[in-house]
Amino acid sequence: MLENTFPIGSEVFAKVNPDLKLTIRQYLKRIYYCTVNGNPSQRDLVYFERELIPVPVK
């Protein structure tokens, strides 16, 4: 049973930095590993589900 709210490949924002768009790269043990959109060479950012908000669909 999958517990994750955001599927891999989803675009999200972090609550601490809502101007930075992230993409979910991996989900392991209740932790989301995200890459920064437009900068794939940067190290992954790691968040719990409660720290993320979805990108609104326009």
Q: State the Cα–Cα distance between residues 7 and 27, nearest whole angstrom.
A: 8
Contact (CB, 8 A) for 24 and 53:
no
CA 11 to chain CA centroid, Å, is: 6
The number of helices, as runs of H, and strands, as runs of E, in the chain is 0, 5
For residue range 20-30, list pLDDT tens digits in order.
999 999 999 99
Full-model pTM:
0.87
Q: State the Cα–Cα distance between residues 46 and 58, nearest whole angstrom.
A: 26
Low-confidence ranges of the chain (pLDDT < 50): 1
